Chains A and B, each alone.
Chain A
């Protein structure tokens, strides 16, 4: 039963991408036909600094198995410094999540520029692979949300 379940494991992965670099990088991955698993769903935000830790907690609560945040490379932020804020906030959040049992591998911050379609796809592939190896996340999931 459990083996069977595992083979059918389809992770839910949320990717927050900043509008100016990473979302465009994802577009480039698309127009370059660079594949990555369909488990990844992208949410567009204006800047990585728009991502409230609350969004990530909510994703895990609703059953996400991994959350990745992509922004412009340090120094390249469209808003000059947003990704620095994001980096600091996520460092804190991820260590807190790790502490309560959501392994570090389930969360990630990556810098992907608008020109890095290859990197976007490679990043997503490696992230999804990691999530598969970690299996289903049950730590924060709110069972009442299950339907």
Chain B
């Protein structure tokens, strides 16, 4: 039995006007364990706190109950006061007799009676409180950013600028991501490379940023502040320290039949390649799956022509192990596969393309050197049709349930650019809804219609019918005139839905970060913690969390950086001591608790357990208190009752129930 002190606050007249505080004090003295009780006009004042501290010392109190306002208001105040007097702060409980009593009840007798019961419940609870120690864990002052697109680059730059070292891990041979594939950006139509390249260069040159390209995260262990990550640096077959980036190897490579990923497979590249001219690092890689040297052993031309002697066929994959305090996921997106949407004839006609392919066609460095032409016969198109929502907003199994968000704007952009550069080309857009929330976005879309004469038709397309003469017949609805229209087109552009980069599922699993049914990473709170994963120390940047355009991605990237910096700025992390704890004697290692834990805080260890003299190895649950947030889901799930929550234990809550129902 604790020696308990009860302190009843008047809160001026806020409490005392409806609750007979003297009566509460009197009743408190009757409770078992209570050795001291008093009241005071303002317990939260300096003088009030001094009274508590004095009583703790004089009466050697082991527990304190303050009957006052909501614990959300002053619990911390009273805990700190108690701590100063030498009492463990978690031995303090609050009975909320203001918000939950005096303010809502008018009848003094009734309110006093309730206040007494609330006091009794708090006393019963504090009787079972145990001193808790807020834990500490160290913080490694280095961040990892997974993904080197605009999101990853921006996050890395912001963290680096704050003075912390950052590593970027990018799986392709260059940073730059999807944005580097774009020609122009909405709503200002500035060239994508012109605004992205300086950022890439800045990231590359920053003393605090270290870039691993052609690399992937392979293993993650540890927890917030103290992650250990294995990074596989795939063999580039080119020595980065020797290569001068002259490009002769790529020119001379005789094997130029590999589909060029950067140009979405619209043309071919050499087996030794840098994805694009502004690549960072400007060091080629050998694609071993397509290289003649690696396939047949004969060739070796690139090594012969390399003056720097940088080509190294013997190079091996390298595993780098590094410690990080924070990890930012910025894995980005891809376009969905259109195999299931063949009513649009994507696989049957070369002149049916996706929007990202159009970006490459419009780009001066693209497969057609920036000339708008049909890929089937190289002719300039006269009629172009854009189809919106291909695979977005689908309730069926073929597509995605969500709106891809960027398509309405980039289609308006494409339409406008084409009408501007090729005024004789007619552009028709079939749309379901035009969604343009964003600064200057709707104005942009209206300009496409009003100034550039883009023909927007409300209605979806049912089928694209290739004609024997190479034209495409587009059969669609015009809902506003209630007609089915057949439109002859030279090219059809599909606004294919975007989806998270397929590798994200694997990364999320390694990080124990949760993902939703669409494979987007889940936020800790949809509104209030949108850039944090529920898993502590993991932050989200860019489209990996949900569809976004560039401005939004950059803002979110900055926000993720700030959250990571906030973590890295701390030397130690104090952990919430109200965490779950498994009773090793009762645990049967069934894993049910780990299944419900949203934070991946529960793992299993085989331990030598001394069960009343029987010593045996058992698989038991172990809670990582640095990760546990104290929700208690596991405590209820545990079939053997081994799991309990410190600070809100089963016995404590039952004691409160008993006191209330007494």
Contact = CB atoms under 8 A, between A and B. Distances in A.
A and B touch in the complex (CB under 8 A): yes
Interface of A: 12, 14, 23-24, 26-27, 29-31, 33-36, 38, 41-47, 49-55, 58-59, 62-64, 75-76, 78-82, 85, 89, 121, 147
B110 A38 contact: yes
Interface residues of B, number: 49
B635 A50 contact: yes
B276 to A, nearest CB: 40
Given A46-B630, A55-B654, A81 B99 contact: no
18 contacts: A12-B661, A14-B661, A27-B72, A31-B99, A33-B104, A38-B104, A41-B660, A42-B96, A43-B657, A45-B632, A46-B632, A47-B632, A49-B596, A50-B645, A55-B650, A59-B660, A79-B631, A82-B632
Given A42-B96, A50-B631, A58 B111 contact: no
B522 A45 contact: no
Given A59-B660, A85-B637, 18 more contacts: A23-B70, A24-B72, A27-B70, A35-B105, A38-B101, A38-B104, A38-B105, A38-B114, A41-B117, A41-B118, A41-B121, A50-B631, A54-B650, A55-B653, A59-B661, A64-B661, A78-B631, A121-B104
Interface centre among A43, A76, A89, A147 (most CB of B within 10 A): A43
Contacts of A50: 631-633, 635-636, 645, 648, 653
B629 interface: yes
A43 B101 contact: no
Nearest to A36: B104
Contacts of A85: 596, 633, 636-637
Contacts of A121: 104
Chain A facing B: main interface SS: mixed
B367 interface: no
Interface of B: 70-72, 96, 98-101, 103-107, 110-111, 113-114, 117-118, 121, 514, 522, 524-527, 534, 578, 596, 598, 629-633, 635-637, 645, 648, 650, 653-654, 656-658, 660-662
A79 B526 CA distance: 11
Contacts of A51: 636
Given A50-B645, A52-B650, A79-B629, A14 B534 contact: no
Given A55-B654, A79-B598, A49 B660 contact: no
Given A27-B99, A30-B99, A46-B578, A80 B105 contact: no
Contact of A80 (B71, B118, B524): B524
A100 B630 CA distance: 33
Contacts of B121: 41, 43
Given A38-B113, A52-B636, A46 B534 contact: no
